[in-house]
Amino acid sequence: MTTVAAQPGPFTFEPAHTALVMIDMQRDFIEPGGFGATLGNDVSLLLPVVAAAADLVAWARTQGIVIVHTKECHRPDLSDCPPAKRLRGLPSLRIGDMGAMGRILIDGEPGADFVPQLAPQTGDVVIKKPGKGAFYATPLSAVLEGKGITHLIFGGVTTEVCVQTTMREANDRGYECLLVEEATGSYFPEFKEQALAMVRAQGGIVGWTAALAALTGA
């Protein structure tokens, strides 16, 4: 068993029954010209997350922890993208439109792929998700159950949207969840801090948070 100094208290897990879930480290969210930028966001705010997330993945590999990468993307015909999602807001380009890295958030297009530093390796699990949460309309539950996973460690973007949504879904399914603070980020730094506080509030109502060094040094 491994115990990490976390908030609101120690987080204990067994690596053999733990998975690292890296949420949506995709070019469309992190690089200029992608979906994040079309929404008017400063994507440079997410760049510091890449190195920390890569360090977290590298550490997980040394521990024999299952590594799951999620990617938010849609079919080319947009049959899995409801109008309520595609037509929301006033982006300069919408999901499915042609952008600087191919069609925005479409599976198989360059922009929907992972940033090079977070590219999956042989043996990793890749989950394609049409929504914000990684359990909705995906095989994630079955994959985790099949591997005997009881604990989840999280990183990825953005903290208050897809990361927090997936953690809440995981909590409802009985998983013990830890969010690594440097390995997650938001276009709105204040939203990240608020989401971290929400996760660990009320004795860890959603889960735990911890610094990367606390985890890798545990």
Active site residues: 24, 129, 162
CB atoms within 10 A of CB 148: 12
| C-alpha span between 107 and 48 (Å, rounded) | 25
Q: Which residue pairs, CB below 8 angstroms and at least 24 apart, start in 1-6?
A: 2/63, 2/218, 3/218, 4/178, 4/208, 4/210, 4/214, 4/215, 4/218, 5/210, 5/214, 5/218, 6/178, 6/208, 6/209, 6/210, 6/214
Name the pairing type of β-strands 151-157 and 18-23. Answer: parallel
Answer whether the bond into residue 8 is a cis peptide, omega within 30°. yes
